[in-house]
Structure 1
Amino acid sequence: MSKIRVAVLTVSDTASKDASADRSGPAIKDIVLQNGCECAESQIVPDDEAQIRAAVREWAARRVADWIITTGGTGFGVRDRTPEAVRPLLEREAPGIVHLLLSSSLQKTPFAALARPVAGTVQDSLVVTLPGSVKAVKENLEALLQSGVVSHAIDLIRGGSGKDVHATLAASTLQAAESSPAPTHSHEHHHHHHHGHPSGHRVPVPRTALSHDPSAPVSARHRVSPYPLISLESALECIFRQVQPLDPREAPVTSALRGCVLAEDIHAPQDVPSTLTTNVDGYAVRSSDPPGTYKVLTPRTHALATPLPAGHVFRINTGAPLPAGTDAVLMVEDTRLADADADGEEREIEALAQVAQGENARRPGSDVRKGDLALEKGTVVHAHGGEIGTMAFVGRQKVLVHPMPVVAILSTGNELLDIQTPQEMDGDGWGGIWDTNRPSLQAALEGMGYKVLDLGIVPDDLDKHIAVLRRGLEEADLVLTTGGTSMGASDLLKPVIERHLQGTIHFGRVKIKPGKPTTFATAPVPGKRPVPIFALPGNPASALVTFHVFALPALRRLGGWPVARSQLPRVRLQGTMPLDPRVEFHRVTVVADSEGLKAYSTGGQRSSRVASLAGANALVILPATTDDGPRELRSGEMVEAILIGELQVQH
């Protein structure tokens, strides 16, 4: 692996005024150089959130460093704001690195419990925040460098496989096994390498063609799923590792931007207002003009660039620029009509008051100065109009954004009927079932602003599956299917993805309720990056729940949302809820009142019972049972929730 490029940011009010006071920054440079790294850049900033964030963002955007290290501002001091500055930038957080830093420091001093480090990736850079003391910096870097954690992480961020680290580990394990004495008891010894992933869970490694061969007879199908049953945390981690934002494009500043994410900082190209303007309806005057009678000029009779002649006022409306030679505005309420022509047009007015210089006027740049940051990169352009209004306000006509992804949806199964175009089914009188999933998913997607490509209902036919999925991969940014993910002989999605589309199944089962057979894959497409595929269960409630849990975060990531934006609110249960051996997403109605957010169950939670979603606006996340844990959550307990609709307000 090529040399690791390091950028060092010292955060200190004192050192920003006197660089000689910086002790930890030079110590970091010495240590990384001794460990074969290259120090690409360094900078000192005060304990100011905006300046810290700007420095890290700028380095990551310019890709000057593989590893950005900050030092200082991670404690509980009044001015310690480094974690708050860096955390919003993180696209993929690294809690395992944070745990390593804290555990290594706690071995030295209990006061390490007061440290607040954060770590993760910003674009293609690993960012780690260290304390400000030289002693703590040395201890933390020793833990990161000698263990090989940083080099392994950067290899993976660069797109490597980490095979060198695996080879070293394998060799050391073999050497240890060969040199160790034979076991004296019959129990096997197992070594598990978790690569530093948090919570001890193991992220699944994609394997090819685990699915059954659809050309083989039914008797040859799998009786046990070949796909490992993984945790919710592993599944989400896998999705965020595989799904990256769509390439930015330039777009005009119109209402069509709603839902897009800014791919650049928006700076004001000019002062706003650009000249002295009025903030009331009235008359532009010289502040030296006393009360009296004045002739009235208007934009029709006087050019703004021409100085206002003596004995005149200039009629002006709110927001308009003042003409040359004037420095204040007299309100309409402080005047009286003195003379008008036959058409009612004002000729003269009487000024009843004298105004001070600058009164009722806005100075150039008083709202925004040229070069000011108006909106940050990563800002979501919401439908309420504030972001679009801000861009228009500062005079931006075009802007660089991550576009909202196009979603292809389809349902699978011979038994399905389209509610709008039902066709009589062959058979013994059984009429089939209505396709619930496509209409509900299309409503959810279009309500969020996504463009939907409806590929219809696909029968249980291999060739038709291949043709429809290929169209979806070519024309959309994400493919969403329902049905065909379980163990039936006619369940074709996994075989088609693996055997005919050269795709990779990243996971095929998740330990959640509902939604166990949820499948996530990617498939290569000529001329574009691999396209994500979410094959959701066919049961209506399961399909909608897993859409919100898995597909929606992937869509947001494709659209440029930072991973760190996936935050879950907490709600208070209004009734006892039993727990299951699997993590359960229980459909609820969340109501906001003076006491906070309250969650009411919508009743029976069968995966086929779509009625339980009719009144639901959230999914509460119920933890899995443990051997020594509770079997239910009681009314009044707080749990995390995924909001899937508007909050209800209770008065």
Structure 2
Amino acid sequence: MAPIRVAILTVSDTAFADATADRSGPVIQDIITSHHGEVESDKHYRIVPDTVEAIQSVVKEWADNGNVDWIITTGGTGFGVRDATPEAITPLLNRPAPGLVHLLLSASLQHTPLAALSRPVAGVIKSTLITTLPGSVKAVKENMDALMRGGVVQHAVELLRGGTGARVHAILAGGEQRSMSHNGHRHGHDHGAHVHHHDHHIPIPRSVQVLSHDPSAPASARHRKSPYPLISFEAALSYVHANIEVLPVETRIVDNNLREYILAEDVQAPQDVPPTSTTNVDGYAIRSTDSPGVYKVLTRFSTTPLPEDTIYRINTGSPLPPGTDAVIMVEDTQLVSTDNETEEEAEVETLARIPVGENVRLPGSDVRKGDNVMLSGDRITGRGGEVGSLVFVGREKIRVYRKPVVAILSTGNELTDLHTREAGSTTAVEGWGGIFDTNRPSLRAVLESMGYEIVDLGIVPDDIEAHVKAIQRGLSEADMILTTGGTSMGPTDLLKPVIERNFGGTVHFGRVTVKPGKPTTFATIPFEGEEGRRGKKPIFALPGNPASALVMFYVFVVPALRKMGGWTEEMCQLPRVKVEIQHPMFLDPRTEFHRVVIRIGRDSGVLKAFSTGGQRSSRVASLSGANGFVVLPPSGLTGTKVADVGTVLDAIVIGELEVE
């Protein structure tokens, strides 16, 4: 195996100000060298202050370059006010490594109970392993010993490089490189391989550690408490942003169907617009030297100069004939005679002298050849201006970022489709008609209004095989899967187990401190697409309660869809405005999204937010007519339990504002 390429990042305000104060970084470098690893001191040994931005900047640079196998940070993992390493690294992880975290804590706890106050993070960013160590030299030595002993890191790096790890497995299993799974299927241990599913067979569950319950076990064996950590709203947004990939660029025809696409190229004018002098009014092209008087009227355009004693009738936008340099409006003329045969104007009298250039658009006065008309990253709205600009300069086709196709499904035996009256399962309770599936129609309505193509996977019963088939179809036909229901703690809540166990997916978060929508789940599943393109497809598993599902859609899914479609970072989030609330709003320990109608004061211009009433998560009526969510801060941050009338708070805008 080739030497492990290591990068070391010391996180310390003190060491950043004085590099000689760094003791841990050189210790790590010595340990790596003694184990035949490589650290390029000039490139892969840095010191940064205790800030999230500084840490992330260096780590992203190393991970993006792809020439580092293992990033080790030291410092900033404790409970100090400035300790920010876990907060910086966690959002960057594509795959967390809880086993390594446990190893680091166990190693330190053998020496001191104070190690319980350490907050290590470990995982994979792209193809690079990362571990965060404490700042003390003693703790660094203990942690490094645990990581290097028994070939733990060597084996991880070999797998991340695309190897099979056969040598290590042979040592551990006495030469046996394959094992039997619990269901009798024979499978290898290439943990680094992508999982692809293009047939209709249930994939063999992966053999790595997962957090979800085993759906094949009896209900009595399920988790009584969620194994997924409860994370903040801000952290959840970071996970989404870090794990969403922009879709490829495609070429599309310039027409009315370009609404909500993002340009992937700059657009320059291929020629001057207008290419020649044209008129911007209806009237007569004349010479500015002509005095008021009676003139013959010509209606046929000629490439030769206009004869004396004649003027040319011209319509808005038409080119001026040679020899003319001004246009007199119809209102400044009067009819003198008509042609007896055609009844067209034969002679008119001009009533004013017109200066040169009057009512004339000069060549290039709108756009000059080579000017940028639109830029890469510009959004093509449905208001017409962008499409009109592209047509204006003669663009027939344009390169844009592909818009994601979204597969939607609802889960649950209790659900019934309103129109087909088909239930999610034939095992519905006798004499009970079930609950109408509200979520699919609601989500489809808003997705299609935003211009997204939908793959409707229907109602999926509480059955593993049905879940697997629906997700397989979603992966093959769509870029994102959007589900509702099946995210809580019941024995028939199958989405997390199927994602983790059957598709080798990663659940980035399974619970969020928000109201409504606490069990909202975000995961990704690896795939291989056209022309060998590899990546990961996102799955948002939203709560089954209708209000929760729609609120979480706007909060988490819309930003993800926009990033996939090439929207710039500042445009991904829905707009936020300051509003003055018109009803008292009680605060929750979680961040709450209170559904409101935002109106503009007719006289004051102040934005006012009116509550839509009861905010129960199952009450979809709280969203009927709502055009925004007031973002209520957690009660623990404010020291109060209610936001009074007149309080100014942030609100997320989801629809057109009203006038009071």
- TM-score normalised over the length of structure 2: 0.70
How far did residue 524 of structure 1 move? 2.1
Partner deviation per Cα, 1:137-183 (whole Å, 9 max, x = no partner): xxx99999xx876432312344688832248999xx999x999xx87
Change (3 A) 1:246 1:429: same
Kept in 1: contact 2:525–2:536 (CA 8 A): yes
- CA gap of 1:160–1:608, structure 2 versus 1, over 3 A, is farther
Out of 614, 619, 634, the position equivalent to 1:624 is: 634
Cross-structure match for 2:408: 409
The alpha-carbon deviation at position 194 of structure 1 amounts to: 7.5
Label 1:100 to 1:545 Cα distance change in 2 as closer, same or farther (>3 A). Answer: farther
Instruction: Report the counterpart of residue 589 of structure 1 in structure 2.
Output: 597
Q: Does 1:639 align with 2:649?
A: yes
Q: 1:338 aligns with which of 328, 336, 339?
A: 336
Is the 2:591–2:634 Cα contact (8 Å) retained in structure 1?
A: yes
Equivalent in 531, 538, 541 of residue 537 of structure 2? 531
| Corresponding residue for residue 123 of structure 1 | none
* Deviation of 1:320 (Å): 0.7
- 1:195-234 correspondence runs (5 A): 209-234=210-235
| Residue 192 (str. 1) matches residue 119 (str. 2) | yes
State how 1:159-308 maps to structure 2 within 5 Å: 163-166=70-73, 190-192=117-119, 209-298=210-299, 301-303=300-302, 305-308=303-306
Q: What's 2:623 paired with?
A: 613
What is the deviation of 1:234?
A: 0.8
In the alignment, the residues of structure 1 paired with residue 48 and residue 414 of structure 2 have an alpha-carbon distance, to the nearest angstrom, of 60
CA contact (8 A) 2:48 2:55 kept: no
The aligned residue for residue 117 of structure 1 is none
Shift in Å at residue 571 of structure 1?
1.3
TM-superposed CA distance for 1:104, in Å, is 7.8
Q: Which residue of 2 aligns with 1:555?
A: 561
Cα pair distance change 1:531/1:153, threshold 3 Å: closer
Q: Deviations over 1:19-50 (max 9, x none)?
A: xxxxxxxxxxxxxxxxxxxxxxxxxxxxxxxx
Of 551, 555, 567, the residue aligned with 1:545 is 551
Structure 1 Cα separation of the partners of residues 540 and 646 of structure 2: 35
Once the two structures are superposed, what CA deviation does each residue of 1:347-373 show, in whole Å capped at 9, x if it has no partner?
222222221111111111112212222
Contact 1:208/1:498 (8 A) holds in 2: no
Instruction: Name the residue aligned to 2:504.
Output: 502
User: Which letter does structure 1 place at the counterpart of 2:616?
Assistant: R
CA distance in 2, matches of 1:586, 1:316: 60
* Structure 1 residues 243-302: Cα deviation after superposition (integer angstroms, max 9, x where no partner): 12211211122110111111122222221111101011111111122222222212xx33
Structure 2: tracts of 5 or more residues without a match: 1-10, 19-46, 78-100, 123-130, 133-207
Counterpart AA for 2:560:
A
Residue pairs, 1:109-120, within 5 angstroms: none
**Shift in Å, 1:387:** 1.3
**1:388 to 2:390 alignment:** no
Q: Give the match for residue 347 of structure 1.
A: 346
Q: 2:13, 2:49 within 8 Å by CA — same for their partners in 1?
A: no
Alignment of 1:38-117 (within 5 A): none
- Does the 8 Å CA contact 1:285/1:329 hold for their aligned counterparts? yes
Q: Is the 8 A contact 2:50 2:76 kept in 1?
A: no
Displacement of 1:635 after TM fit?
Answer: 1.4
Deviation at 1:428, TM superposition (A): 3.1
Q: Classify the secondary structure of the residue corresponding to 1:441.
A: helix
Q: Which moved more, 1:481-490 or 1:629-638?
A: 629-638
Distance verdict in 2 for CA 1:178–1:602, change over 3 Å? closer
TM-score normalized by structure 1?
A: 0.71
Contact 1:208/1:504, CA 8 A, preserved across alignment: no
Determine the structure 1 residue equivalent to 2:83: none
* Native 8 Å contact 2:13 2:48 kept in 1: no
Considering only CA atoms, is the larger Rg found in Structure 1 or Structure 2? 2
- Please give the alpha-carbon distance, in whole angstroms, between the structure 2 residues aligned to 1:169 and 1:241: 21
Q: What is the match of residue 573 of structure 1?
A: 581
Contact 1:412–1:483, Cα closer than 8 Å, also in 2 = yes
Q: Assess if the C-alpha contact under 8 Å between 1:618 and 1:645 holds in 2.
A: yes
Counterpart of 1:324?
A: 322
* 1:396 Cα offset (Å): 2.1
**Cα pair 1:589 1:618 within 8 Å, conserved:** yes
Return the letter of the residue paired with 1:192: R
The gaps in structure 1 that reach 5 residues or longer are 1-96, 106-139, 196-201
Q: Shift of residue 219 of structure 1?
A: 1.9
Is contact 2:409-2:457 (8 Å) kept? yes
C-alpha distance after superposition, 1:315-373 (max 9, x if no partner): 10011110111111121122222221232112222222221111111111112212222
The residue aligned with 2:27 is: none
8 Å Cα contact 1:253-1:391 kept in structure 2: yes
Counterpart residue number, 1:26: none
Shift of 1:540: 0.7
From the superposition, tell whether residues 261 and 178 of structure 1 become closer, same or farther in structure 2 (CA, over 3 Å). closer
